[in-house]
Every structure is written in C-alpha cells, then in structure tokens.
Amino acid sequence: MTASVPAIINEFLTGSFSTIINVLKVLIPLMILIEFLSVYHVMEKLSKKLTFVTKVLGFSPSAVLPLLVTVVMGVTYGAGTLMEMNEKEPLEKKDFILIAIFFFICHGIIETTAIWGTVGANVIIISAGRLMLAGAITMAAARLPFFKP
C-alpha cells in the first residue's frame, strides 16, 4: 500500500468527477450535431456523393449509407440503419461482411476520438490511422477469392 484511505477516496472523487465533466464536454456538442445530421438527413445526401468510395473499397453503392452512419455517428445508429435496411431490401452477404470488416475497426469516429483527445492521445493519428487501416483491410478483403460472386 502506497496511499492512505482518505487519499484514495479523494482521488476517486476528484478523478471520476473530472472524467465525467470531460465526457459531458464531448457528448453535449456531439449529440446536438447528431440530431442535426439525422433531422436534416445529411447522411443520406452525403452517401449519394460518396458512391465512388464503394468502387475503391469493393462493395455495392447501397452499402454506403449504413457504413457512413456507423463511422460518423456510432455503432448503435449504424446497427439501427442496417436492421432497417435488412427489413426493406437486404444487402448482399458480401457487402454486409465488408461493411462489418470496416466498421468494427472504425466506428463512432467523432465521439471516441474526441474523448481520447481530452485525456491526451494524438487525435489525428487515432482518427486518420483507424480510417486508413479499416480502408486497407476492407480493400484487401474485397479482393480475396474468399468471396465468390
């Protein structure tokens, strides 16, 4: 034991309080932004402009929307979009797997990057790095013989 009990309690109270303040600083602007994005259907409009990305990554254009939602807004929103799409017009199995390969590496990019930024990680490396890594793995996976047409 290197610290007394009151010191430990003090550290717990001050530390957890500042963590929660940091989380609030990120979440309040973020949630307002996400509300704007979903009310004005920004993701739908943006996904139409991003169809060229699908060619590079190797999946069909209809998969852009769920991917974009997951990467920008977070995995819960993305899962919601995917489930909705599955009911209306299911994605092809290949596209589905490729989206998963991308978004399990890289999701909720604004939120997670911002909170890690508050504790002192390098924001550019963790966001750009994850996007590039996810892109590279998806591109490679799409071209593997593992997926038969």
Can you list the alpha helix ranges (DSSP code H) found in the chain?
5-39, 42-49, 51-57, 64-73, 75-88, 93-105, 109-119, 123-142
Q: How far is the CB of 52 from other proteins (least distance, A)?
A: 25
**Closest to 112 (Cα-Cα) out of 43, 17, 19, 26:** 26
Q: What is the DSSP letter of 147?
A: S
84 binds other proteins (CB under 8 A): no
Stretch that binds other proteins, among 45-53, 54-62, 117-125 (CB under 8 A): 117-125
Q: 103: Cβ–Cβ under 8 A, 6 or more apart, which residues? A: 67, 70, 71, 75, 78, 134
28 binds other proteins (CB under 8 A): yes
128 binds other proteins (CB under 8 A): no
97 binds other proteins (CB under 8 A): yes
Using CB under 8 A as the criterion, which residues of the chain lie in contact with other proteins when the complex forms? 1-3, 8, 11-12, 15-16, 18-20, 22-24, 27-28, 30-36, 39, 75-76, 79, 82-83, 86, 96-97, 100-101, 104-105, 112, 115-116, 118-122, 125-126, 129-130, 133, 137
